[in-house]
Structure formats: structure tokens, C-alpha cells
Chains A and B, each alone.
Chain A
Amino acid sequence: MQPAELSAVDIVAAVRQGDLSAVQCAETFLSRIEAGNGSINAFLNVDREGAVACAAKIDARRRAGQPIGPLAGLPVAVKDVLCTANLPTTCASKMLEHFQPPYDADTVSRLRQADAIIVGKTNMDEFAMGGSNENSAFGPVRNPWDLSRAPGGSSGGSAACVAADMAPVAIGSDTGGSIRQPAGLCGITGLKPTYGRVSRRGLIAFASSLDQIGPMARSAADCALVLETIAGHDPGDSTSLVASVPRYTELLEQPLTGVRIGRVPDHFAEGLDPEVAKGVEEAFAVLKAAGATVLDIRMPHAKYGVPTYYLIAPCEASSNLARYDGAHYGRRCEETAARKGSRASNGAIAYDSPLVEMYCRSRGEGFGPEVKRRIMLGTYALSAGYYDAYYAKAMKVRRLIRQDYLDAFEHVDLIGGPVSATPAFKLGEKTGDPLAMYLVDLYTVAANLAGIGGISFPCGFTKSGLPIGFQLQAPALGEPLLLRASDRFQRLTDWHLRRPKKSVR
């Protein structure tokens, strides 16, 4: 069997057994990247040399009978929002185009420690802001199922590279749906863990109270394998949870008998594509057949999720992105341009105008339009006189949404539904309408606001051959059940095994 078609679980087992060399495995995926990235643009940076060298060391250690890590030889693609000490980290922004972090993100260290092989950094929406990957300063990612369509975002590169077999596993980040939505649109499995389950240290912040790192792979079992490595308390992240990490891969066997899954009728209201609705209802049927019971529940505040999210996330972003001022690192405008100064506004600003001019020009040149839009939204919402009406109110609604989940989880163990209202949309289809683009997060933002985990996996295809995603959400630290239910579904279906046509790939 070709390594490119093996699951992550199988690759790790084959390397361990000596049936597959880590170098051979890395070479296979690197060749696929080299062949396919030109059309898909999933990678911003490929580390062939580093990956092969790392793989060779693992092979040598295995041959010498030395211990190898739990992910030994597994190629992993990492979203370019996670710091890597050996590779530039750009956030798909001109602002950080040449930025080289001096340290590895906690997730990256854990992957290296486990002997995973980092093959490269994946494309994304700039600073993880977007739902189509069209906000990348380095060009959009194309959906492997239809190159004229968006892969979703912001972890579009991570989703597309797994869908196109360029990597068995990728790391994404999810602030409002950025793992689950592209996973859904690309026909792969993506897990957004509970807030704090995976350390955010080294994850370049978009919205600190919502950001969470998670695995993206072909199956729930592969996600479970990677989560075992990247989850866990990090003393360097005060918000990371102090909770032991279960052996997720060993908790998949138990059947779903007696598991109660909530279904929210509002999810099926106006706006949901009929083919998506059909795929989602069929998924409920599969889960029922597996022994679960499905109950209708109400989430009364869910409809406020998107407006709440689009206040809190930009507020935090406006502050998180203030550090990109051209003074310390990242893009700085031409010195002569800054020195020209004189923006001829009021006298007070004229005093230090070369500095202010440098700030304005550097940020103006470095950030793309969506990033600027969110910085302005957030700055406005936090301003004196608006704080109570926007940020403070949004925080109150956030508590109500969290309470909705607490109430719902009194009655059900999981909540199921669509990931996105439509399958993958055309590139350029929504770029002129930021509000339409914000609605792609409709079904995913609430989990981030509540800090709970969610998983997305394929549950069917449209007539035109585009994947349809199904989402499950669980109470805080409910990853074992999320993974178990998804894995059970994948034992009963083969949607996750389908691949885009070779001609497209």
C-alpha cells in the first residue's frame, strides 16, 4: 500500500514495525506536495530538507534499537499561525512575511518530542481571520474537490493538504470554526478541543479567549492519536487546563448504546442547503442505528452567536495585533516615507509625526483589508462610550450561550448538526460581502464562545461531488466521547475514505 493512502495510525504502526521507513514516508508526502501544491496552494513553506533529515534520524534510532516517540515518522503539516524555530511563521500576512520566531510553539515542541515530522507550514486566512482562505496575503487555497471553490477557513491550507493526501495529519486553529468549517468543506475530520485543552503558547493570537489548536486528519481515530500528543497542561499558558490527558485512542471501542445526541430544530430553518440538510439527517440516522438516541433540544441564544462573536473576537484582535507596529519586528515601511511625516492634522500629532507616520504606513502596508476591518471593529467597540453597549453586552450574551449549553447537556451527551449551511462555495463568491462571509461561522462560533469542544467529519456528498460536514459538540473535556462517536460513525460509513478525483488532484 502507498504510504499516502495509509491512516496516521497505520503509518505510525508501520514505521514502528520497520515495514515503512520514515524517510520513505516523508519522501512520498513531500513528492505529493511538490506535485500538487502549485494548483492547491495549501503550503506556504515546505521543509523538505529538515523533514528528510528528521526522518533519517528516526530510522537510524529505530534500527539501533533505541526508543522512538509515539508519532515517530508521522508527517505533520502545521498551520502557519504556530511558531516554529526553524521555519518562518507568517500568519499568511505581509506583516510577518519574513518573521522568524526564536522558539517553537508548545504544540510544535510536543510534536517534535513525539518524533513527528514537520513537513511544512500551511496557508490560512491572514491572522486566522476568515472563512474561505481568500484572505491570505499569499493567494487563496483551492479546494481539492473542486479547484474553483474555496476550502473554507481559516485553516484552509491544513484542510486541503489532508484532503489532497499531501499530509496524513495537519494542525489547525479554531477561533470561530476555523478547524471544523474547512474540515467540513474539504471532507476531512477536524477536532476543536475544549478551550485550554491544548496550550496556546506559540499560537499567534487572534482572539485569545476563543483560540484553540486542534488536529485535522482523515479520521477521528487519527485525530485521537495526535490529540494524545498535543493536549496537556503547559505551565507557560495560564489558561491551559490542569487536567490529565486520557488515552483517546484506547477509548474508541465502547459502543454508542445509550448515548443521547441533541438535535437543534433551528439548525434546519431557512438558509440551510437542502442537500446539506439531507446529509445531516442521514448522519443522525446512522448514529441512531449505532445505538444512540436523538432528542430535539432548544438553544435559545444560539442566534446571537455570530453577532456576539463578531464583537468579542475583533475586540481581542484589535489589542492582540497592536504589537505589529513596525518598531520591533515584522514589516516596517520605508524609512524615508516615515520621515516625510507631516500628516497635517492637529498640532499634537504633528509633534511626533515621524513615529505616528511609521506606525500608520507600516500597518497600512502590512495588514490586509479583513484584518484592518476587524481591528477597526474591535477598536471601536472597546472605545470609551461604546464599551458597555458592545463589549460588555457581548460578554453577557456569551454567558447566556454558555448557559444554554450547560442546560442542554443536562439532557443530552452530545449535540449534533451541520457544520456549514452550504457545501464549498466558489472562490470570490463572498469576498465582496463581508457579512455573508461572517455567516459561514453560524453553526460553529457558539462552541468557541462556550469554550467547549466540537468535531466535524464528512457525512455525505452533494450531487456535484462536494463533501457535506457533520458537527458534534460535547461538554468541556468531552473529547473522548466526541472522538468515540465520530469513530463509530466512520466505522459504519466510508465518506471519510473518499478522495478527490485524481484529475483534480
Chain B
Amino acid sequence: MNAANAPTAAPYTTIVGLEVHLQLQTRTKLFCGCSTAFGAPPNTQVCPVCLGLPGSLPVMNRAAFELAMKAALALDCTIASFTKWDRKNYFYPDLPKGYQISQFDLPFSSSGSLEVVDPKGTFAPRTVRIVRVHLEEDAGKSMHDDTAGRADSRIDLNRAGTPLCEIVTEPDLRSPQEARAWLNELKLLLEYLGVSDCNMQEGSLRVDANVNLHIPEASGRIAKTPIVEIKNMNSFRSVERALIYEVARQWEEWQQTRAELGTMPKQTRGWDDPAGVTRAQRHKEESSDYRYFPEPDLVPVTVSPQQLAAVRASMESPPKQLRQSLQSQWNISAYDADVLVNQGRDLVAYFETLAAQVGGGKVASNWMQQDVLRMLKERGGAIADFPVQPAGLADLIARVTAGTFDTSRAREIFAEMVANGRSAADVVGAMEIAAVGEDELRDLCRELLARNPKIVADVQGGKEQAVAGLIGQARKQNANVNPGEFRTMCLEMIRTMGR
């Protein structure tokens, strides 16, 4: 096991592969014109097609296919020039046709990869290979009412037919932390491309994880524990926690049973978040035979090089590329670029506008990291709703650069701008902020030095930092005092006094 991702060298290697289901951000469903909007009353966004009524036929939504192509291209997948649809047959009440239209042996894309880099270096950069990305329709939602003695189930088919991308990775991840970081990178990528809103709470992104352990034995042989599929995780944090739990559980079990891969059917375990444990689920799914066969109601899809080029041309740059271009164009650190990019496209746009207006990436980046992000976090909400636009902040920064006031004073002004949506000029005027003239400043120095002989003595004795005690007093008397200028002048005067 790689030292970079194993702070405490474990006697095994953790092997993790992920299966991600992603709802595409289309206006309408994959095979009919019904809306995909979330949150409507049950069974109000349905038609004969997504209800699976007799005689209804699916018609492919080309926009969904193109969006799926974007996702696959962003994952460096190869797009098949010919792809078809297959039926996956199984009975469940939220699957109204008794089959799901999916892709079996000829998915529209395969063989991609996505790298995740941790700028803090807690693990080495990891490239995760993508086996395939395919498109399918979502099922409806079952809601089980287990109130005493009832056991009623209700079905909402609003979601039935929503386009879903299934992304299957190779088992290339080596720790729960990596899995979480990789999922964050994937989410960011898909959000940047406008492919999906990746909202796990609303079910637009669902993750299943396959995990087992490779355990080197004394003989040199590698023992492998049975692969467990973990389901029912509703946040990336849950994915990490579930994997941490499952790895420990498998290690424990291995020590007791020595059961190896292939000696039992693949197990599915559900993550119980409040309890913090995985629990074995019934074996029903494992034994199912989906009886895939080509969907006769749909024609195969062909993708020409021209269509592929058009999709490619319509794609925004992915986060990885953006991080690099921020670093080189604005001369900011990899870490800073990472922080900015991880906040999403709108924040990057805010930063770039700000940097262009203040004429420097570093100062803009500092303001972003220390002030804008902090305020955003405190206020909640998106950058789009932030009350101070880049031009307003640039104006404030320009005043600092011009020496009108210092950074700490600027922060107070900024807080006021954010709180009440006012401009810098407005706040400056209202707070009677103006640069303090040299004469005024000299008078203030003189007065304070006279009142604080001990500090004067300390400075003369070599403790220059003692002058800081005067700065607070000066600002109390005149909030507009520039601490830097005041400090310089005081030191200068003390030196003169000493002569």
C-alpha cells in the first residue's frame, strides 16, 4: 500500500470501485415530453409513455443523449459511433413497464478516466479509470408506509423516465478518503459542464461502492476478501464513512473466517447512517437474471464525427483545466486555484472579473479567500446572490491601494457593503472616512507619546513592538488613522526624542 494514502500502514490494500447514477439536467424525460422538475405532487408529471400504458412507445430525447455525451467526453471516454438500447427486465411496482430501457452490451461510451489531486497532499494524485458510461431511464419512487398494521406502499412515477447516466469505474481507488475526494471532483466536473445538479438529497446523484481488501500473505500470495456492494449512501461523507466502516468490518471478518472472493455470492450491504454501520441486505438482487435483449421500440443511435465535434465545441472547460489556467493567467498558487475552482463556475467568474479590474490575481485571490468566501459561508447562499459585485469590491481594493485607508479598515467597510448592499464610496462618506493629513497625524503622535512615557521608554530600550499599544489608542481617537503610517511616524519621533 502506498505510504501517501496510508498514514498508519495497514496490513492490506483497500480496493474500491464506484458506480454512480446521475440524473441529467434535461427539461424533459428521456423517452417522453414530461417535465423532470423535482418536487411536484406525486404522479403529476406523467403521460402514457412513462406510465407504461399499453400501446405507448418511447421516443429518444436527443438533448439528453447530447448531455450524456458531454459527461462522457469530460471523462475522456470514447464515444461509440453506433449504440443501441436494451431492455432490462425485472418486476417492481415503481417500474411500470416491467423493464427498464438501458444499455447493455453496446454502451454509448467507454474507456475513460478522471484524476483527482489533493493540493494538501494527503494522498498521491489518483487516476481512476472509467469502464463505461451508459444512458438509461430512471424508475419511479416507492414510499413504504409502515405505520402499525398497514404496510402500504405508494408509488410516485414523476421520476420514472428521467434520464440517468450510469458511470462505472475500475476498482482503482485505494482508500475511503480518495473515494470521497474523487466523487467531489466528479461532482464538480459535472456541475461545471451543466450535465447534472448532482443533488444527492433530491436523488440526482446516487453512489454505490464496491469494496474489498487485498491481503498479502507470507507466501507472497495475495488473498482477496469477498467484494461487498454498499448501497443507500446519501452524501459523499456517508460514502467515506461507510467505506471506513466496511474496510474495518472486512478486516475483522477476514481474521475470523478467512473467507475469500469467489467462495460466496457477492453481498449487498446497506449503509445505516444514524447507526454508522452497514447491514446485509436480502440476496434477491444477486440472483436476478435481467434477460437483457435489444429494445425493439427504439432505433439504434449513430453519432457522426460532426455531431461529436459539435458537442465537444459546446463544452465549457473542465475544472482541471481551469485550475491550471487560473494559476498561469493570474499567478496564484495551486492551492488558491483549487479553492476557487472547487466553489464552482460562478465564483471563478467573479474572481476573474475582480482580478481583471484590480489588475492583479494575488490581491484579488486574497480578498476572495479571506473575505468573500468567509462572508459567503457566514451568509449562506450562492455567489450569484452576493450583494457586492466584483466592480464594487474592485473599487474598495483600489482605495486601499491608493492609501486612503488600510486593509483592516477596508474589511470594516466591506462588511458594511455586504450587510447593507452599499457601495464603497457610500460607506466611506457615511463613516467620514478620509485620509488623515500629515499635520493632524503628527499632532496625534505627539499627544500620545506625551501620554505614554512607558511605551516611549520601552521603544528606546529596544522593544520596538511596544509601539503597537499606541496604534489602538490612535484609532480610538481617529478611526481613519492608517496604522502603518502612524507607526512609522511614532518610531521616527521617538528616535528624534532620544537624541
User: What's the tally of chain A residues with a CB closer than 8 Å to chain B?
Assistant: 47
Q: How far is the CA of A263 from the CA of B155 in the complex (A)?
A: 57
- A178 contacts B by Cβ under 8 Å: no
- Min Cβ gap A25→B in Å is 29
- Min Cβ gap B410→A in Å is 61
Selected contact of B48 from candidates A103, A200, A315, A318, CB within 8 Å? A103
Q: Are A101 and B57 in contact (CB under 8 A)?
A: no
Q: Are A382 and B293 in contact (CB under 8 A)?
A: yes
Chain B 38-54 interface mask (CB, 8 Å, partner A; 1/0):
00000000001001111
Selected contact of A323 from candidates B54, B57, B299, CB within 8 Å? B54
Q: How far is the CA of A349 from the CA of B288 in the complex (A)?
A: 12
- A435 contacts B by Cβ under 8 Å: no
- B360 contacts A by Cβ under 8 Å: no
Selected contact of A322 from candidates B60, B91, B282, CB within 8 Å? B91
Q: Are B98 and A319 in contact (CB under 8 A)?
A: yes
* Residues in B neighbouring A91, C-beta threshold 8 A: 54
* Residues in B neighbouring A329, C-beta threshold 8 A: 53
Q: Are A322 and B59 in contact (CB under 8 A)?
A: no
- A205 contacts B by Cβ under 8 Å: yes
Known: A83-B54, A319-B98, A322-B99. A239 touches B297 (CB 8 A): yes
Q: Are A325 and B93 in contact (CB under 8 A)?
A: yes
Chain B 276-294 interface mask (CB, 8 Å, partner A; 1/0):
0000001110010101110
Selected contact of B55 from candidates A202, A354, A359, CB within 8 Å? A202
Closest to A95 in B: B54
- B344 contacts A by Cβ under 8 Å: no
* Residues in A neighbouring B418, C-beta threshold 8 A: none
- A13 contacts B by Cβ under 8 Å: no
- A41 contacts B by Cβ under 8 Å: no
Q: Are A83 and B96 in contact (CB under 8 A)?
A: no
Known: A238-B58, A319-B87, A383-B291. A325 touches B53 (CB 8 A): no
Chain A, interface SS category: loop
Q: How far is the CA of A307 from the CA of B291 in the complex (A)?
A: 20
Chain A 224-265 interface mask (CB, 8 Å, partner B; 1/0):
000000000001111100000000000000000000000000
Q: How far is the CA of A474 from the CA of B283 in the complex (A)?
A: 53
Q: How far is the CA of A207 from the CA of B87 in the complex (A)?
A: 14
Known: A204-B55, A236-B57. A315 touches B293 (CB 8 A): yes
Q: Are A348 and B284 in contact (CB under 8 A)?
A: yes
Q: Are B299 and A238 in contact (CB under 8 A)?
A: yes
- A344 contacts B by Cβ under 8 Å: no
Selected contact of A379 from candidates B51, B54, B60, B291, CB within 8 Å? B291
Q: Are A316 and B296 in contact (CB under 8 A)?
A: yes
Instruction: Identify which of residues 89-119 in chain B touch chain A, using a CB-to-CB cut-off of 8 Å.
Output: 89, 91, 93, 96-99
* Residues in B neighbouring A235, C-beta threshold 8 A: 59
- B328 contacts A by Cβ under 8 Å: no
* Residues in A neighbouring B291, C-beta threshold 8 A: 318-319, 379, 382-384, 387
* Residues in B neighbouring A349, C-beta threshold 8 A: 284
Known: A103-B48, A325-B93. A82 touches B55 (CB 8 A): yes
- B420 contacts A by Cβ under 8 Å: no
Q: Are B57 and A328 in contact (CB under 8 A)?
A: no
- A87 contacts B by Cβ under 8 Å: no
Q: How far is the CA of A354 from the CA of B58 in the complex (A)?
A: 31
Q: Are A384 and B289 in contact (CB under 8 A)?
A: yes
Q: How far is the CA of A235 from the CA of B155 in the complex (A)?
A: 30
- A465 contacts B by Cβ under 8 Å: no
- A9 contacts B by Cβ under 8 Å: no
Known: A238-B297, A319-B293, A322-B89. A96 touches B54 (CB 8 A): yes
- Min Cβ gap A493→B in Å is 38
- Min Cβ gap B301→A in Å is 10
- Min Cβ gap A300→B in Å is 26
- A489 contacts B by Cβ under 8 Å: no
Q: Are A328 and B51 in contact (CB under 8 A)?
A: yes
Chain A 330-373 interface mask (CB, 8 Å, partner B; 1/0):
00000000000000000011010011000100000000000000
Q: How far is the CA of A391 from the CA of B291 in the complex (A)?
A: 11
- A89 contacts B by Cβ under 8 Å: yes
- B459 contacts A by Cβ under 8 Å: no
Closest to A350 in B: B282
Q: Are A391 and B54 in contact (CB under 8 A)?
A: no
* Residues in A neighbouring B53, C-beta threshold 8 A: 101-103, 329
* Residues in B neighbouring A354, C-beta threshold 8 A: 151
Q: How far is the CA of A200 from the CA of B56 in the complex (A)?
A: 9
- B363 contacts A by Cβ under 8 Å: no
- B298 contacts A by Cβ under 8 Å: yes
Selected contact of B54 from candidates A99, A315, A351, A359, CB within 8 Å? A99
- A109 contacts B by Cβ under 8 Å: no
Chain A 17-31 interface mask (CB, 8 Å, partner B; 1/0):
000000000000000
- A105 contacts B by Cβ under 8 Å: yes
Chain B 145-179 interface mask (CB, 8 Å, partner A; 1/0):
00000010101000000000000000000000000
- A402 contacts B by Cβ under 8 Å: no
Closest to B288 in A: A384
Among B57, B87, B89, B297, the one with the most A-chain Cβ atoms within 10 Å of its Cβ is B57
- Min Cβ gap B144→A in Å is 11
Q: How far is the CA of A329 from the CA of B43 in the complex (A)?
A: 14
* Residues in A neighbouring B89, C-beta threshold 8 A: 318-319, 322, 382
Q: How far is the CA of A201 from the CA of B98 in the complex (A)?
A: 19
Closest to A385 in B: B289
Q: Are B298 and A238 in contact (CB under 8 A)?
A: yes
Selected contact of A89 from candidates B54, B99, B283, CB within 8 Å? B54
Q: Are A323 and B96 in contact (CB under 8 A)?
A: yes
Closest to B151 in A: A354
* Residues in A neighbouring B98, C-beta threshold 8 A: 319, 321-323, 325
Closest to B51 in A: A328
Q: Are A383 and B289 in contact (CB under 8 A)?
A: yes
Q: What are some 13 contacts across the A-B interface (CB < 8 A)?
A: A103-B53, A202-B56, A208-B296, A208-B297, A238-B59, A238-B299, A327-B93, A328-B93, A329-B53, A348-B283, A348-B284, A348-B287, A355-B153
A sample of 8 more A-B contacts (CB under 8 A), given A203-B55, A328-B93, A348-B283, is A102-B48, A205-B297, A323-B52, A323-B97, A329-B53, A379-B291, A383-B289, A383-B291
